[in-house]
Amino acid sequence: GAVVSQHPSWVICKSGTSVKIECRSLDFQATTMFWYRQFPKQSLMLMATSNEGSKATYEQGVEKDKFLINHASLTLSTLTVTSAHPEDSSFYICSARHLGGNRGDTEAFFGQGTRLTVV
Amino acid sequence: GQSLEQPSEVTAVEGAIVQINCTYQTSGFYGLSWYQQHDGGAPTFLSYNALDGLEETGRFSSFLSRSDSYGYLLLQELQMKDSASYFCAVLTYGQNFVFGPGTRLSVLP
C-alpha cells in the first residue's frame, strides 16, 4: 500500500521555540494532505487541510499564525509549530489520500505521528 | 455540525465476537471508515463502506446503513493483539475524514 512518512517521530523542545514536522508521501503524489492533533485518550482532531501550491485551510479555532503549513511539492507538507508552549504538547499526525490507488480515494494513509513535548 | 458517537470502552475475552457501533451526523457523507490505533501508534485502515450492507475482510466486518446514519465494526475470533482503540470516521464532502471519539477495546485472556 501507499506509504506516508512523518519525521521526526518525537521531539522535545523548550517553550518559545519552533518545531517543524515533515510529512512525505513516498510512493504517490498527494495534492492534499491533512494535519491532525490527538491529545491522550482522545480522538484525532483535524487542524488543517494542506493543499499543494496554495494556502492551507484551517479548522475553526486553529491559529494559522501559530501552526504554519507549507505544501511546496506533491510529496511534502510541513507543519511548523511556532513559539511552542506546554499546552501544544500533543501527538501530531498527517495523512494523505491516495487518489487512483487500489481502493480509489477512500483510504487515508497516515504518517507515524510526531509526539511533541514542550518543556 | 459534525458529530459521531461510539461507546468509549468495550471488554471481551479471546475468541469472542465484539460489535462496535457508530452513529453519525455530518455535513455531507461519502462513506464510513474504521481505523485501528494501538497505543503510541498511528491509525491503520480497516475498512470503508460507501454503500449499505456488510463488507467482510477476514476476521473483521463492517456494516453501514445510510438511512439510519449508523454503522458497526464486527471483530470475530478476538485475539490479544486486537486490544486497541477503534475509530469510526466519516469521509465528508470536504474530502477529509471526521473521526469519532474512539472505542477502547480490551481483550482478556
pLDDT tens digit string along A84-105? 999 999 999 999 876 655 555 6
Instruction: List CB contacts (< 8 A) between A42 and chain B.
Output: 101-102
For A46, which of B33, B45, B96 is closest by C-beta distance? B96
**A113 in reach of chain B (CB within 8 A):** yes
- Taking the C-alpha atoms of residue A49 and residue B76, their distance in angstroms, rounded to an integer, is 36
Other CB atoms within a 10 A radius of the CB of residue A62 amount to: 17
Higher local confidence (pLDDT), B94 or A88: A88
- Taking the C-alpha atoms of residue B75 and residue A82, their distance in angstroms, rounded to an integer, is 42
**A92 in reach of chain B (CB within 8 A):** no
The type of residue at A36 is Y
Residue from B22, B25, B17, B51 nearest B34 by CA: B22
C-alpha cell at B26: 455530518
Q: Answer whether A103's CB lies under 8 Å from A2's CB.
A: no
Higher local confidence (pLDDT), B92 or A87: A87
Give residue A31's pLDDT: 81
Answer whether A108 sits within 8 Å of B45, measured CB to CB. Answer: yes
Higher local confidence (pLDDT), A78 or B26: A78
Per DSSP, which regions of chain B are E strands? 3-5, 9-13, 18-25, 31-37, 44-49, 53-57, 60-65, 70-75, 84-91, 97-99, 103-108
Answer whether B101 sits within 8 Å of A43, measured CB to CB. Answer: yes
Answer whether A43 sits within 8 Å of B87, measured CB to CB. Answer: yes
Three-state SS at A69: strand
Q: What angle do CA A62, A67, A71 make, to 5 degrees?
A: 115
Among A27-36, A105-114, B83-92, the range of highest mean pLDDT:
B83-92
Answer whether A106 sits within 8 Å of B43, measured CB to CB. Answer: no
Three-state SS at B77: coil
pLDDT tens digit string along A63-77? 999 999 998 888 999
Instruction: List CB contacts (< 8 A) between A103 and chain B.
Output: 48
- Taking the C-alpha atoms of residue A37 and residue A79, their distance in angstroms, rounded to an integer, is 11
Tell me the nearest-neighbour CA distance from A88 into chain B, angstroms: 17
Give residue B75's pLDDT: 97
Give residue A27's pLDDT: 85
Give residue A108's pLDDT: 78
Instruction: List CB contacts (< 8 A) between B87 and chain A.
Output: 43-44
Answer whether A110 sits within 8 Å of B43, measured CB to CB. Answer: yes
